Structure 1
Amino acid sequence: MPEETTSIDYVMEAASGPHFSGLRLDGRMPSSATAAAASSSADSTLTPDFLPNQPFVIGVSGGTASGKTTVCDMIIQQLHDHRVVLVNQDSFYRGLNPEELERVHEYNFDHPDAFDTEQLLECTMKLISGQGVHVPIYDFKKHQRSSDSFRQVNASDVIILEGILVFHDQRVRDLMNMKIFVDTDADVRLARRIRRDTMERGRDINSVLEQYAKFVKPAFDDFVLPSKKYADVIIPRGGDNHVAIDLIVQHIRTKLGQHDLCKIYPNAYVIQSTFQIRGMHTLIRDRDISKHDFVFYSDRLIRLVVEHGLGHLPFTEKQVVTPTGSVYTGVDFCKKLCGVSIVRSGESMENALRACCKGIKIGKILIHRDGDNGKQVNDLFGTHEVDIDV
């Protein structure tokens, strides 16, 4: 092998020699029993189409060092008020056997067979079904999975699958609600890969260039680039394209905002969850919370619900004269407001309604069953327009 001072041209030329693909050297394929077990496991798992509260699954693919991870991080940052998990395809590299380790420089890590797609598929389907999974941790220096540690990933609102070949297998593609391809110039990707592999993975520049010419570029042309046709969204320039990422996040928020109740009741409105709301829900669900704090935070949540509900009532335009003499065009309720409190739970919301609507009149309605026949009888003590209930 030439010295470190060998020219880059020589390295690139030498890379055209013979090599083997990501297939295992012993030629072993998964046994029929293993394949059958994996198939049975996949068949027994519910598909997303039949799951309640299914998460939004995003696939992010693109060439090596194209900026996929950067795009994923930016999406996660903007979806800060939702639970988001990132699953990297790199975690599912197959560990190399001793014979492969001896010839590791001739192993094609960019071939589809270098990944354990069956395990990736199984983990993804478990996450979609609401189960937590153990994602393996791969050591790129030892080319082995960690035997005593793993990454715990729990079910979330959004699942992001990231990797160069996440679009290659149709079974994985079919689980995705959105497919994103990060498109970056080849020269930029090569420069980034050299910097990443030399600084983070302990490799020298010659081995990086050799691997790029022998495996990375051919695999991109043969497997990665053809999968671009499956993408719903193509992002040029990767993480530098803030406009594209903002539009993607907006679309995801729209999809997540379609609550299951809204699908059943078209006129139902669900308040968007925030860290503040989730924090208050956490407090009032704590069995050790004091009575005073429970009442305080419950009243805050109820007031948010009342204010949100008032915003959906019909308004009409109204002009007023300000203290400075200018005319301000605003809005006013179309009709006078009154409330109907449904006994007993609705009574806990009366104070919030009075705090939001000064002087509002509130009546009460009692709903009970008549004997054992299941028939509901309403005793109306006041006829009003706004129902409040918990």
Structure 2
Amino acid sequence: MQPFVIAIAGPSGSGKSLFAETLCAELRRDAPQLDVVLIKEDAYYRDQSHVALEDREKVNYDHPEAIEQDLLASHLRSLSAGQPVESPMYDYTVHNRRQETVGIEPAPVIIVEGILLLTHRALREACHIKFYMDTPLDICLLRRMARDVKERGRSLDSVTDQYQESVRPMYHEFIKPSVRHADMVITRGGRNRVALDIVRNMLLSVFQSEEKT
């Protein structure tokens, strides 16, 4: 069965991860025979082993150049061709890739989520359908603050400084304009029950049709 690749993009804190994880869980619940793989664009932040920690902290992680998008696009093409890949792993506490990788096997449904997916042509072309999470920026900021302080060991001052210096400018320069490449815009974040039902039912319908042919 030809893999179906879904992109879920949008600003940091928009609800992408929650939407993607909920969609995965519900597809596995409703179609146990249907393998689903979730890939996070964040794992593809560039290796910075050659850069001192204090300099890594100054990198603009919301710029497309911070992510190895060509590698991610190559991995999506390989998975679509039925070939396994070794995905990098990223450690936010040291702003660098881990030495180990994680093996990803091809699956009928591949969901990839990240802030900059729709800014890269090869990534867009590797996906069959593209969603954009359209959440107000002030809500995204509050969510990002809570996440980075609690889960990533950041100080509130560092999160605020990063937001002002790079997150907000990069949102307006790259992320927000990429909405024009989306096939569907989803509002109200990752708990949008109607949107989740529509996407889940669409995918179930597609693969039920495939199984009958």
Task: Give percent identity, aligned residues only.
Answer: 35
1:55: Cα distance to partner?
A: 0.7
Contact map agreement 2:57 2:95 (CA 8 A) in 1: no
SS in 2 for 1:258: helix
Contact map agreement 1:67 1:182 (CA 8 A) in 2: yes
Find the partner of 2:203 among 248, 252, 257: 252
1:99: Cα distance to partner?
A: 4.2
> RMSD value over aligned CA atoms?
1.4
Find the partner of 1:140 among 84, 92, 116: 92
1:211: Cα distance to partner?
A: 0.2
Contact map agreement 1:100 1:107 (CA 8 A) in 2: no
Tell me, yes or no, if structure 1 residue 101 matches structure 2 residue 49: no
Distance 1:189 1:253 in 2: 30
Instruction: Return 5+ residue gaps in structure 1 as ranges.
Output: 1-52, 263-390
Contact map agreement 1:65 1:193 (CA 8 A) in 2: yes
Find the partner of 1:61 among 9, 28, 34: 9
The residue identity in structure 2 corresponding to 1:175 is A
Tell me, yes or no, if structure 1 residue 168 matches structure 2 residue 116: no
Partner of 1:193: 144
Partner of 2:21: 73
Larger radius of gyration: 1
Distance 1:118 1:235 in 2: 26
> Residues 37-56 of structure 1: matches in 2 within 5 Å?
53-56=1-4
1:153: Cα distance to partner?
A: 1.0
Tell me, yes or no, if structure 1 residue 177 matches structure 2 residue 125: no
Partner of 1:228: 179
Q: Which has the higher contact order (CA 8 A, sep 6+)?
A: 2
Distance 1:123 1:99 in 2: 26
Find the partner of 2:69 among 92, 97, 117: 117
Distance 2:150 2:27 in 1: 30
State the Cα deviation string for residues 277-319 of structure 1 (Å, max 9, x = none). Answer: xxxxxxxxxxxxxxxxxxxxxxxxxxxxxxxxxxxxxxxxxxx
Contact map agreement 2:18 2:191 (CA 8 A) in 1: no
Contact map agreement 1:105 1:211 (CA 8 A) in 2: no
Higher helix share: 2
Distance 1:238 1:79 in 2: 19
Aligned residues: 209
1:152: Cα distance to partner?
A: 1.5
Find the partner of 1:129 among 70, 81, 101: 81
Contact map agreement 1:56 1:256 (CA 8 A) in 2: no
Tell me, yes or no, if structure 1 residue 88 matches structure 2 residue 40: yes
Contact map agreement 1:65 1:189 (CA 8 A) in 2: yes
SS in 2 for 1:130: coil
The residue identity in structure 2 corresponding to 1:185 is P
The residue identity in structure 2 corresponding to 1:56 is F
Instruction: Return 5+ residue gaps in structure 2 as ranges.
Output: none
Distance 2:206 2:180 in 1: 23
Distance 1:101 1:180 in 2: 34
Q: TM-score, normalised by structure 2?
A: 0.93
Distance 1:228 1:97 in 2: 33
State the Cα deviation string for residues 326-357 of structure 1 (Å, max 9, x = none). Answer: xxxxxxxxxxxxxxxxxxxxxxxxxxxxxxxx
The residue identity in structure 1 corresponding to 2:48 is L
State the Cα deviation string for residues 118-177 of structure 1 (Å, max 9, x = none). Answer: 210111111101111111111111122111x22121111100111000111111101211
Partner of 1:241: 192
1:100: Cα distance to partner?
A: 5.5
SS in 1 for 2:201: helix
The residue identity in structure 2 corresponding to 1:127 is L
Contact map agreement 1:111 1:219 (CA 8 A) in 2: yes
Distance 2:110 2:47 in 1: 25
